[in-house]
Amino acid sequence: MKFFVDTADVAEIRALAESGLVDGVTTNPSLIAKSGRKMSEVIAEICAITEGPVSAEVTATDFAGMLAEGKYLRGIAKNVAVKVPLTEAGLRTCRALSQEGTPVNVTLCFSAAQALLAAKAGAAFISPFVGRLDDIAHDGMTLIGDIVQIYRNYPGIKTEVLVASVRHPVHLVQSAKLGAHVATLPPAVIRQLLKHPLTDSGLSAFLADWAKTGQSIL
Ligand code: E4P
């Protein structure tokens, strides 16, 4: 399973990349706004850190505007994946860009039917938002299972399921069990994945016993 980092914080991405935990990055207009920086500069810096796909989202809502923005964003670096919302204009843009060889991430997916449409439009990634579904008392993981099953039924579909709006480690583990291709994780969730109290207490005990030996390895 691939791990993408869901942030526009360049320092966070750089730190996680040094541990080999970054297969790609996703951003959205809210994350760019939070960074307080110019979008093109942030995307260029992120693309220099990872060779994996870096999602940069259009903000136009009409086909011509989305297409123009998508081409501009793709021009920033060869590993930009253009992100479009799951609207009719977004799917049209997805098809046009995909036919030119640009990978497209179709975002704001909340149903299996929407995911099927994105696949037909040639999306490289579909981003179902599990946390936002959970927030309104729908089971986000049921949606992941449904999309994975539907895509598997049709081997011609090459779209990867990119689990988005991940809020905690259980979302990641369940996504992996269901066979999702990718999860995009906020840096805080990646750090939560790392932690286990038995790792901490076990390491303390080993180091205490080692100190009693008076040895040093080097
Ligand atoms: C990623 O592509 C999405 O934009 C992101 O995961 C949304 O997460 P949120 O629901 O926590 O804002």
What is the CATH classification number for the domain harbouring 175?
3.20.20.70
Strand partners, 54: 25, 80
Counting the structural domains of the chain, the total is: 1
Residue 184 maps to a domain = yes
- What is the Å distance from ligand 1's center to 44 Cα? 20
Q: What is the pLDDT of residues 84-106, one digit of tens each?
A: 999 999 999 999 999 999 999 99
- In terms of DSSP bridges, do strands 2-6 and 182-185 run parallel, antiparallel, or are they unpaired? parallel
- What is the Å distance from ligand 1's center to 191 Cα? 17
What's the pLDDT at 122? 98
What mean pLDDT comes out for the span 20-44?
97
Cα(197)–Cα(175) distance, rounded to whole angstroms?
A: 23
Instruction: Decide: 79 in ligand 1 pocket, CB within 6 A.
Output: no
Q: In 10 A of CB 209, how many CB atoms?
A: 9
What mean pLDDT comes out for the span 4-32?
97
**Which residues are part of the catalytic machinery?**
83
What's the pLDDT at 92? 98
Residue 58 maps to a domain = yes
Residue 177 maps to a domain = yes
Residue 108 maps to a domain = yes
Residue 218 maps to a domain = no
What mean pLDDT comes out for the span 137-161?
98
- What is the Å distance from ligand 1's center to 129 Cα? 7
Residue 155 maps to a domain = yes
- Give the nearest ligand 1 atom to 31 CA: 4
- Give the nearest ligand 1 atom to 131 CA: 10
Cβ neighbors of 206 (< 8 A, separation 6 or more) are none
Q: Could you tell me the residue range of the domain that residue 169 belongs to?
A: 2-213
Cα(13)–Cα(71) distance, rounded to whole angstroms?
A: 24
Residue 87 maps to a domain = yes
| Cα–Cα distances in angstroms (integers) from residue 167 to residues 66, 91, 147, in the given order | 29, 27, 19
Residue 148 maps to a domain = yes
Q: Which of 28, 46, 82 to mutate to test the pocket of ligand 1 (most atoms within 8 A of CB)?
A: 28
What's the pLDDT at 28? 98
Q: What is the pLDDT of residues 175-207, one digit of tens each?
A: 999 999 999 999 999 999 999 999 999 999 999
Please tell me the number of Cα atoms within 13 Å of 87 on its side-chain side: 12
Cα(164)–Cα(126) distance, rounded to whole angstroms?
A: 9
